Amino acid sequence: MADDMITEGMLDMFIFETEQGLETLENICLESRDAGEFDDDHVNEIFRIMHTIKGASAVMMYQNIATLAHKLEDVFYYIRESKPENIPHAELLDYIFEVSDFVNAELEKIKEGAESDGVADDLIEQLDKYLKKIQGGKGAAKKEEQAAAPAHAPEEEKPHFYIAPVASDSSHFYSIFITYSPDTDMANIKAYIAINALKGIAEDILFMPSDIISNPDSAAVVLEFGFKIAIQTTEDADRIMELINTSSGIEQVEINECTGQEFLEFCTEAESKAPASTAGEIVLGPIEQPTIRTDAKKPEAITLTEEEEKGVEAVKEAQKEKAEKPAPKKKKPAKKAETQSFISVNIKKMDLLMDLIGELVIAQAVVLQNPDLKVPGLDLSNFKKAAAQLTKISSELQEAIMAMRMMPLKNTFQKMNRIVYDTSKKLGKDIELEVIGEDTEVDKNIIEHISDPLMHLIRNSVDHGIESNEKRASIGKLEKGKIVLEAKNEGGQVWISVSDNGKGLKRDEILAKAQANGLLGNRSERDFTDKEVYNFITLPGFSTKKQVTEYSGRGVGMDVVVKNIQEVGGVLDIDSEEGRGSTMTMKIPLTLAIIDGIIFSVAGTNFVSATNTVTEFIRVDEEQLIIEPDGEEYVMIRDICYPLIRLNEFYHIAGGKEKISDGIVIILSYEDRKVAVFADGLAGEQEIVVKPIPSYIKKVPGISGCTQLGDGSISLILDIGGLVDKK
Amino acid sequence: MAEEISEQKVLDDKAVVEEKKQYMTFRSCDEVYGVSLENVSEIIGFQQYTEVPETEDYIKGLINLRGKIIPVIDVRIRFGKEPLSYNDRTSVIVIQVKGTVLGLIVDGIEGVVEFGDSEVAPPPSVSSLAKQAQKFVFGIGKSDGEVKLLLDPDKLVNDNDAEDEEKDEDEEE
Amino acid sequence: MRTLIAEDDFASRKFMLKFLSKYGECDPTVDGMEAVDAYLMALEAEMPYDLVCLDIMMPKLDGYQALKAIRDIEQERNIPEDKQAKIIMTTALNEGANVNKAFNLGCVAYAGKPIDQAKFENVLRKLELI
């Protein structure tokens, strides 16, 4: 979806808020599924949501949405007022989902700049029938009362309409800065001419100072501070230059393309500066109550409101205003978590911040490990204290910044609710979804990459993993079909797993297919471990499904899932028990981690491993080294046998110590396994910034990234899992 | 009311001038190559790199460029020629295509030349160029009596040698 | 329907005139001040305007000021709500803050430029102007 931004702020807001409302609506519905009915809070909330959507879409002139929302609102108005008993819940849920789907579909069209031409007449009719049904034979009289329901009256206030401009998606945003030579006469008029020239091509235009026509003193301001313009147009910078550069007196024109976001900021900035009536004096209006929110989606609308002077009525908070328009906003019972205030920030700024903190860590290391400090005889006690303080603050800063990029998986997981519901319903299976650890936080970047794979895994479980109700009954599975979606932190990784209690993977079937595809080579079937067998299903085109269903089985799924996971440096772990179920676990490293690392070297190449993976390092004697007949080496340490990996051999690095007693053995732990790694020596311990290996270089097994050490040299970061797997 | 102060607009002299594109040229193994200047982020002297195991032989490793870690490749080896030991004329041209950055180790920098689109000829089908080099050369331009082989930075940066070979094999099947 | 148009850009003014002339008489003005004057004159002649279209960026008096001025005049003269002119802002500015400000000052609709004619007509119908 990238960066296409609709900057008609009104449209943005409308889309955003409506989508939010619909999401809440869906969640309430899914929550109520087991209970079989809506409680009072639910009813009120749904009513409120539909009411808002109705009002907003009417203002924005989307009559189809407004009428549909109105109908559903009517239904809930009745439910709220008359509290009918035992209304068909599942049927109602279906209707609500259909409404939500319709509106979402229309929103998609609107987002793309297309017409909202959807027709919901059938749905409206169905809702009408449903409403009549639950009203029962309560008599015409009562129905008449409802028809004149008070809830509808307050809206007959002043109607407001927002006529969105005809969309053009090839708009660019530019910020223009014009400076005039100091002896220019009537600079303000010249500035106005520039604006006038641009109005013809502008879809939206703002400028500062804004009182160039009415206030002759503005000429001085323009001369001193220059003239700033922000413009939205389909034309390019050259055309703009052509249009502007016509007056004498212009010293310089700077035109920069900017993002929609920056354009918005200019607008709000321009609003806040009261016209500079006294040259140079700028009065900033107080910024009231920013209502802002973080959201993974792109258009990040900032709603700032300010008071403007000049005898114009103060503007109330845009947010409150909108909500209060139809009816006084009922304060929702505090069922939801405390409302927090949020700020939406441009992603680029966050990225910049992350880069800077990374550089800070490295710079800090360079200072703290500086060779100048190694001069013998220096008293560094004061320095050390100061250094400790610096380190402490820097650590806290890092944590705070990383926390900013982290978002809980909650949203992603909740989407899965709907998918399980839809898919299982269509297939006639009764499946429950349990979600654990949805508050686990993960870098925003990761969330974007795993959403699709996760959906695919869940669909797989529903479609192929869990047996149909009859089948389950016939084989004696009494418990309901269940899928457990879990997220947890493990070491420097986050593990997201999808487990089902279905039929599991059939080793024999998979091997047969692999055999047919010639994938087994010379190895006999018995030689393949279960994990290796399961991994076959991640090969492109591999599917033992005899039938391709709408949801899965085409064999184009699992390999794409794995690819997506690998793109964020993760792996897919498959575990299964035939007849009992399967578990797919995505193991993803936390990106841009800043971790404590232990550095060791092998023939001039430096490797780093996270300190928490290093169990111990020890010098080992020849006697402790065991060489198996097949050439595999092990070391015996305190009666435990560890497989040994010689880094220089493993990575074909020339040089490096040969004798076990000359180098150092480092025990690294990976999940519940431990492995011994042989290196020349330890080079130190340092906080490192995990950086990805540049994209040009293809992934090297066993290496998960690189970093810069205190002395500026580059070190490779070991990925224990990769090491062990490759071996 | 807007005072219409009309100014005489001087029309641009839209002489029929072709837009020329600038290329950074460098020498590698007796050939002169060029890369569009837009994609060149900088040129630095040779600096020691850190090897990355298990990579193609033309990928020498990683260098630290003011905090950014950049991969470097030896152009000679990439184009199938004998590598040369690095001396003080050896330079690294850092190119960037969208988000991907790559450093090219070259024998020496030549200079910037300009070619209009009409001055660039397609590469000859039969050439003395090594097979490995051919796929990167999109055209040739002549300047100062010398032929400059123009490289496509996109191909350099999205170099998927192994995949291409696999593809060739698949096609042959 | 009698319409008053305030728009300082020649091309936009022509567009509005052409578009709205099909519904009745249309009077063009080129800035906020002229618009308010015209509005007053019409009131005095007892042929008030039904619809006023105000551009926001205008010289002398901008759209907001003109809007406020007209509403103030209506209040002063105790003109009942149903007889008040329906005012539509026409402008390139589309930010929520601008729009809400305009609504607060008493306009009934806000049309972003380039104007969607179909929607505009729709609104006129809803407002029972046509």
Contact C95 A163 (CB under 8 A): no
Task: Indicate the range of A7-11, A291-295, B142-146 predicted with least confidence.
Answer: A291-295
Per the structure, how many domains does chain B have? 1
The confidence band for B75, taking pLDDT boundaries of 50, 70 and 90, is very high
- Cβ(B71)–Cβ(B40) below 8 Å: no
| Domain extent at residue B57 | 20-167
pLDDT of A386 over the 80 cut: yes
Is the CB of A360 inside 8 Å of chain B's CB atoms? no
Distance CA A17, CA A12 (A): 8
Contact B2 C8 (CB under 8 A): yes
pLDDT of A99 over the 90 cut: yes
Question: What's the complex ipTM?
Answer: 0.85
Closest to A16 measured CA to CA, from A302, A236, A215: A302
Amino acid at C42: A
- Mean pLDDT of all residues in A132-161: 57
pLDDT of A633 over the 90 cut: no
More confident residue, C14 or A171: C14
For the stretch A441-480, pLDDT in tens is 887 777 877 888 898 899 888 888 888 888 888 888 888 8
Q: What angle do CA B150, B154, B158 make, to 5 degrees?
A: 130
Is the CB of C75 inside 8 Å of chain A's CB atoms? no
| Domain extent at residue C120 | 3-126
pLDDT value, residue A264: 59
Tokens 């329906």 belong to residue: C86
Per the structure, how many domains does chain C have? 1
Distance CA A589, CA A123 (A): 46
pLDDT value, residue A305: 31
Contact B99 A605 (CB under 8 A): no
Q: Residue ranges of the alpha helices (H) in A517-588?
A: 530-535, 558-567
More confident residue, B33 or A235: B33
pLDDT value, residue A538: 80
Put the strands of the sheet holding C3-6 in their side by side order: A161-163, C109-112, C86-91, C51-55, C3-6, C26-29
- Mean pLDDT of all residues in C94-102: 75
Residue B5 lies in a domain: no
Please give the torsion angle defined by the CA atoms of residues C59, A276, A305 and A232, in that order, rounded to the nearest 10 degrees.
Answer: 60
Contact B71 A192 (CB under 8 A): no
Residue B15 lies in a domain: no
Which residues of B fall within a CB distance of 8 Å from A708?
Answer: 64, 67, 69
Distance from CA of B60 to the nearest CA of A (A): 11
- Cβ(C48)–Cβ(C84) below 8 Å: no
Nearby residues of B86 by Cβ (< 8 Å), 6 or more positions away: B46, B105
To test the contact with chain A by mutation, choose from B4, B62, B65 the residue with the greatest count of A C-beta atoms within 10 A, namely B62
Sign of the CA dihedral running B123, B127, B129, B135 = positive
Amino acid at A17: E
Distance CA B37, CA B35 (A): 6
Distance from CA of C30 to the nearest CA of B (A): 7
Cα–Cα distance list, C26 to C20, C23, C51 (Å): 7, 9, 9
Distance from CA of B166 to the nearest CA of A (A): 15
pLDDT of A576 over the 80 cut: yes
Give the gyration radius of chain B's Cα atoms. Answer: 20
Contact C116 A166 (CB under 8 A): yes
Is the CB of C68 inside 8 Å of chain A's CB atoms? yes
Q: What angle do CA A463, A469, A475 make, to 5 degrees?
A: 105
Residue B122 lies in a domain: yes
Which residues of B fall within a CB distance of 8 Å from C60?
Answer: 1
- Mean pLDDT of all residues in A250-261: 78
Cα–Cα distance list, B105 to A237, A416, B28, B95, B170 (Å): 37, 49, 9, 11, 32
- Mean pLDDT of all residues in A408-437: 85
Distance from CA of B146 to the nearest CA of A (A): 32
Is the CB of A699 inside 8 Å of chain B's CB atoms? no
**Residue of chain A minimizing CA distance to B103:** A696
- Cβ(A503)–Cβ(A465) below 8 Å: yes
Residue B118 lies in a domain: yes
Contact B2 C59 (CB under 8 A): yes
More confident residue, C10 or A335: C10
For the stretch A62-71, pLDDT in tens is 989 999 999 9
Which residues of C fall within a CB distance of 8 Å from B2?
Answer: 8, 59
Contact C92 A160 (CB under 8 A): no
Q: How many helices (H) and strands (E) does chain B have?
A: 4, 11
pLDDT of A272 over the 80 cut: no
Residue B153 lies in a domain: yes
The average confidence (pLDDT) of chain A is 76
Distance CA C26, CA C42 (A): 12
Task: Indicate the range of A179-193, A496-510, B51-65, B99-113 predicted with least confidence.
Answer: A179-193
pLDDT value, residue C40: 92
Tokens 């259909």 belong to residue: A98
CATH number at residue B106: 2.40.50.180
From A193, A605, A693, residue closest to B51, measured CB to CB: A605
3-state secondary structure of C56: coil
For the stretch C112-125, pLDDT in tens is 887 888 889 988 98
pLDDT of A321 over the 70 cut: no
Which residues of B fall within a CB distance of 8 Å from A654?
Answer: none
The confidence band for A439, taking pLDDT boundaries of 50, 70 and 90, is confident
Is the CB of B168 inside 8 Å of chain A's CB atoms? no
More confident residue, B29 or A302: B29
- Mean pLDDT of all residues in A84-112: 89
Is the CB of A181 inside 8 Å of chain B's CB atoms? no
The confidence band for A285, taking pLDDT boundaries of 50, 70 and 90, is very low
Contact A700 B53 (CB under 8 A): yes
Contact A13 C11 (CB under 8 A): no
- Cβ(A701)–Cβ(B54) below 8 Å: yes
Distance from CA of A673 to the nearest CA of C (A): 58
CATH number at residue C91: 3.40.50.2300
The confidence band for A279, taking pLDDT boundaries of 50, 70 and 90, is very low
In this prediction the pTM is: 0.44
pLDDT value, residue C96: 67
Is the CB of C30 inside 8 Å of chain B's CB atoms? yes
- Cβ(A18)–Cβ(A57) below 8 Å: yes
Residue B7 lies in a domain: no
Residue B24 lies in a domain: yes
Pairing of strands A673-679, B59-65: unpaired
Nearby residues of A145 by Cβ (< 8 Å), 6 or more positions away: none
Is the CB of A13 inside 8 Å of chain C's CB atoms? yes
Distance from CA of C27 to the nearest CA of A (A): 22
Structure-block tokens of residue B53: 């195991």
Nearby residues of A91 by Cβ (< 8 Å), 6 or more positions away: A130
pLDDT value, residue A148: 42
Distance from CA of C41 to the nearest CA of A (A): 24
Which residues of A fall within a CB distance of 8 Å from B55?
Answer: 697-698, 700
pLDDT value, residue A2: 27
Is the CB of B47 inside 8 Å of chain A's CB atoms? no
pLDDT value, residue A569: 67
Is the CB of B2 inside 8 Å of chain C's CB atoms? yes
Sign of the CA dihedral running B97, B101, B107, B113 = positive
More confident residue, A334 or A366: A366
pLDDT of A639 over the 50 cut: yes
Task: Indicate the range of A114-118, A400-404, A635-639 predicted with least confidence.
Answer: A400-404
- Cβ(B147)–Cβ(B32) below 8 Å: yes
Query: Chain A, 50-109: which have a CB under 8 Å from a chain C CB?
Result: 61
Please report the domains of chain A, with CATH numbers, ordered by start residue.
9-156 (1.20.120.160), 172-284 (3.30.70.1110), 347-400 (no CATH), 409-589 (3.30.565.10), 594-726 (2.40.50.180)
